[in-house]
Amino acid sequence: MREITFAQACNEALRHELQRDSSVFMIGEDIAHYGGMFRVTDGLMAEFGEDRIIDTPISESGFLGMALGAALAGKRPVAELMFIDFSLVAMDQILNNIAKTHYMSGGAAKVPLTIVTQGGGYKGAAAQHSQMLEALFLHVPGIKVVTPSTPADAKGLLSASIRDDNPVLFIEHKQLLNLKGHVPEGEHLVPLGSAHVIQPGTDVTVLTYSYTVQLCRNVVQELSSFGVSVELVDLRSLNPLDWDTISQSVTKTHRVLIVHESHKRCGVGVDLAAQIQEQLFDELDAPIGICSAADVPIPFAAGLESEVLPTESRIRKAILEVMGREV
């Protein structure tokens, strides 16, 4: 199979869905004439026209409100938020309106709206351009959250997100956009809510998603040569969550580490840890570990940023800690 980048894989999914369903259209900043800050929408305006690939003013609250209205009027809008950090200027549209409309309408209104955004750190983009804010969207009910880690999953999950009848937040990680991988041509769907066991193992379960999957892969590989057998699970979507895969894995290994890049307090790590101990208390041989960003804003300088975000060495240490081994 040919290799393409994560960004190209997203581009393919968008093109495929735009071709397939005339009710799909895109709206966002610099996505049409320029082709997107990260080239994710490259060439789409040329193919589908300015009517379906729409450049907007710097008005995130405005264009997300429009996307909601368009969805209610029967379209399947895909809105691009250039950085997930900018979601905060549009949070009322996202959490008070887009997320709640289906429920508030007693089911009468459907909101098939995908928000494609880009987030994450490790690039010196500092406190306002490095966040992974998925937890905010998980806390307030009504929006699905999808976090692919490979080009193939990006394509399959983005197509599935656009076809979903609900609001979906699709998060690209800035460190993944140029990552290359094998990606099926043509139609490719990965259902929302299905985790992927990257490597089966018996000693400890590592649950992760998005860019930290790549970091964990390296660590797990390395540890296997020391006889540590890690079951590495890429969650792929955080809402819906693939609870079956999680619980099967925990029931097998009895030890769990959750790795993510966002902050710890009220984040995904504590969310999963609490649910696991609630459901599978007697299965646990050790406290569930969480390896996440420290609870400080993301600093700029390289030496500071790498102190705050998960690194391979901190992940390795955390795995060994969960296993009760000397670090």
Partner 1 sequence: MESPSAESFLRQMATLQALERELTTLSQSGRLRGSLHLAQGQEAVPAGACAALQPSDYLTATYRGHGYVLAKGCSLDGVLAEILGKATGLACGKGGKMHLFDLSHGLLGTNGIVGAGVGSVVGAALTAKMDRNGRVGLTVFGDGAINQGHVHEAMNMAALYQLPVIFLCENNLYAEMTPLHRSHGNVNLLERASSYGMDAIQVDGNDPFKVYEVVKKAVDLGRSGGGPTFIEALTYRTVGHYQADAGTSYRTLEEIEEWRQNSPIKRLSARIGPDAEKIIDEADELVHEAVERALGSPDPDPATALQGVFA
Ligand X SMILES: Cc1ncc(C[n+]2csc(CCOP(=O)(O)OP(=O)(O)O)c2C)c(N)n1
Task: Note if 254 is an active site residue.
Answer: no
Decide which of partner 1, ligand X, its own copies, none touches 326; Cβ closer than 5 to 8 Å per partner kind.
none
Q: Which two tokens stand for residue 113?
A: 């709206």
Lay out the sheet containing 196-199: strands in order across: 196-199, 230-234, 204-208, 256-263, 289-293
120 token code pair: 């994450």
User: What DSSP line would sit under 75-105, residue for residue?
Assistant: -EEEEEESSGGGGGGGHIIIIIIITTHHHHT
Backbone angles phi, psi at 35, to 5 degrees: 90, 15
Least distance between partner 1 and beta carbon 103 (Å): 5
Binding residues for partner 1 restricted to 14-33, rule: CB under 8 A: 25, 29-30, 33
In the complex, least distance from residue 316 CB atom to its own copies, rounded to whole angstroms: 18
Q: For residue 209, state whether it binds ligand X (rule: CB under 6 A).
A: no
* Contact call for residue 227 and partner 1 (CB under 8 A): no
Closer of 199 and 306 to partner 1 (Cβ):
306
Cα–Cα distance measured from residue 127 to residue 213, given in angstroms and rounded to the nearest whole number: 22
Taking the C-alpha atoms of residue 154 and residue 5, their distance in angstroms, rounded to an integer, is 10
Q: How many CB atoms lie within 10 A of CB 126?
A: 14
Binding site for its own copies (CB under 8 A): 61, 85-86, 88-89, 91-92, 95-96, 99-100, 103-104, 126-128, 131, 133, 135-136, 138-142, 239, 262-263, 265-271, 273-275, 277-279, 281, 284, 286-290, 295-297, 299
172 is catalytic: no
In angstroms, give the least distance from the CB of 59 to ligand X: 9
According to CB under 8 A, which residues from 86 to 105 bind partner 1?
86, 88-89, 92-93, 96-97, 101-105
* Torsion angle defined by CA atoms of residues 25, 30, 32 and 38, in that order, rounded to the nearest 10 degrees: -90
Rounded to the nearest whole angstrom, what is the least distance from the CB of residue 143 to ligand X in the complex? Answer: 20
Is the CB of residue 38 less than 8 Å from the CB of residue 14? no
Question: Taking the CB of residue 57, how many other CB atoms lie within 10 A of it?
Answer: 8
Instruction: Choose the one of its own copies, ligand X, partner 1, none that binds residue 33, judging by a C-beta under 5 to 8 angstroms depending on kind.
Output: partner 1
The owner of tokens 């099926």 is 184
Of 124, 121, 164, 126, which is closest to residue 144 (Cα–Cα)?
A: 164
Catalytic residue among 12, 80, 102, 129: 129
In angstroms, what is the C-alpha Rg of the chain?
Answer: 20
The contact pattern for partner 1, residues 102-141, with x = CB under 8 A and - = no contact, is xxxxxxxxxxx----------xxxxxxx-----------x
The one catalytic residue in 60, 80, 172, 231 is 60
Of 99 and 220, nearer to ligand X (C-beta) is 99
Residues numbered 78 to 117 that lie near ligand X (CB under 6 A) are: 82, 86, 89
C-alpha 265/C-alpha 210 separation (Å) is 19
- Alpha carbon 129 to its chain centroid, in Å, reads 16
Token pair listed for 76: 């399947």
For the record, the structure tokens of 326 come out as 């000397």
Site string for ligand X, 57-76 (x = CB under 6 A): -x-x----------------
Of residues 89 and 286, the one with the C-beta less far from ligand X: 89
Enumerate the active-site residues. 60, 129
- Name the residues that contact ligand X, by CB under 6 A: 29, 58, 60, 82, 86, 89
